[in-house]
Structure 1
């Protein structure tokens, strides 16, 4: 019997400025999908067979950090798929991993390679748990714990980049000079901070938003 389930979860109120949503996908049939850049980095937990991305000639790891991408791609699976995905707000992933998001640009990186002990422990709990709603609660507890450790050091920078991103959503044609003014930073400072937090330069990001609106 062919079965396929797709479910979205909304983050708790505390996490909504940093997490866009979670989604869970289960399927026992082969997957062949074409995807477009969404402008948000992700952490992916594959409880069964990971996905293959031919454009990168890579198979995702069971724990994958997926950075910003500037190209469309195919996703393939052999028909035994179960995955839980954390979709971050464009600028937020680095505050949970303590690594610039720019390091994951156009890459699918094993989460184990960054040697984050608490993330590895979370992955173990996810892979040992059959109930995906409980898995989401584990993920939320981990995310909240990371906020407690990191928010004080990044709040003011996060707010400046978030203000620029919100303006991009409203006016995707906006110039980098205007964005840097909104963030109250010099153009050079803004571009450096945007690239570190969002993982892609401002011009590329505005192109992704324009494409999505089109």
Structure 2
């Protein structure tokens, strides 16, 4: 992409357990980019043109709830962009829209289709906002108010407990993506089926598939850190818990569309899941 401007913003401290960061993109030209499964749901606000996703044969709605995906995408734009994105922690978005993330799996859903008047009003405010920093502030204030409501509602105790359970299991997956599934449900203090239902409804895919996404993102991160020296793919394969290098290459190609060496000639490896652009 050319002639574009990225800016990153921190969420309010109260939102940090749920929202990783906000980013904005302004661009005056048609553009394209290869994207990968990142393991984090997002809410996307398009104030001008939107992203077209050829793999889904669709353009994102003006206000998009983007769930977990398991495929690479070649997103395109056809004109001027003014886009704001809230990037949530893997289990964070459910705190604001409820445990319905499985409905957004491999989907780009309009936020106006979930019958939420507050989100409808947020969409209107962002569409009529004059500048980007004010838009980010409006989104942050909306999420703070929604969080307060969820934390004081009649199901708040169970939601807080489920968040702690998922926080523990997601942390384990990110640290050790090849953790066995029985260890994860034992860590959550839930039975296997109950844990899998909870995980899928709050994160958007089953824990085994999510672990594969995390392992892929970890391999991207290791490649990203060693761009100035020869990349040891066998070491990356071992560090990420793949059974062997062939397994690593197959999984990498599934989620990126390229082998690791091919990707280096297409784009610079970058892990959205393991990189914090605000640090």
Name the TM-score class by shorter chain: over 0.9
The structural deviation recorded for 1:33 is 0.3
Tell me which residue corresponds to 1:172: 177
In the alignment, which residue of structure 2 is the partner of 1:195?
200
Alignment of 1:26-45 (within 5 A): 26-45=26-45
- State the distance in 1 between where 2:125 and 2:179 align: 43
- Match for 1:211 among 194, 203, 216? 216
Offset of 1:20 from its aligned partner? 0.9
**TM-score for the superposition, normalised by structure 2:** 0.75
Offset of 1:130 from its aligned partner? 2.1
Aligned mates of 1:149, 1:98 — CA distance in 2: 12
Divergent runs of 4+, >6 A: none
Query: Would the alpha carbon gap of residues 69 and 202 (structure 1) be closer, same or farther in structure 2, given more than 3 Å must change?
Result: same
Q: Which ranges in structure 2 are unaligned for 5 or more consecutive residues?
A: 220-279
Change (3 A) 1:99 1:119: farther
Matches within 5 A, 1:125-164: 125-151=125-151, 152-153=156-157, 154-164=159-169
Pairwise CA RMSD: 1.0
In 2, distance between residues paired with 1:180 and 1:46? 38
2 CA distance for matches of 1:98 and 1:169? 23
Equivalents in 2 of 1:149, 1:30: separation in Å? 40
CA deviation profile, 1:88-113 (whole Å, cap 9, x unmatched): 11112122113511100000011111
What SS does structure 1 have at the residue aligned with 2:189?
A: coil
Write the distance in 1 (CA, Å) between the matches of 2:148 and 2:56. 35
* 1:108 aligned partner: 108
SS of 1:34's equivalent in the other structure is strand
Structure (1/2) with the larger strand percentage: 1
For 2:34, what is the secondary structure of its paired residue? strand
Q: Secondary structure at the match of 2:5?
A: strand
Q: Distance in 2 between matches of 1:33 and 1:3?
A: 14
User: Where in structure 1 are there 5+ consecutive unaligned residues?
Assistant: none
| Distance in 2 separating the partners of 1:38 and 1:183 | 23
Q: Secondary structure at the match of 1:87?
A: strand
* TM-score, with structure 1 as normaliser: 0.97
CA drift of 1:150 comes to 1.1
SS of aligned partner of 2:75: strand
Bigger RCO (CA 8 Å, 6+ sep): 1
1:16-71 alpha-carbon deviations (Å, 9 max, x no partner): 00001110000011111000111011111000001100000110011111110011
Structure number with bigger Rg: 2
Q: How many aligned positions are there?
A: 213
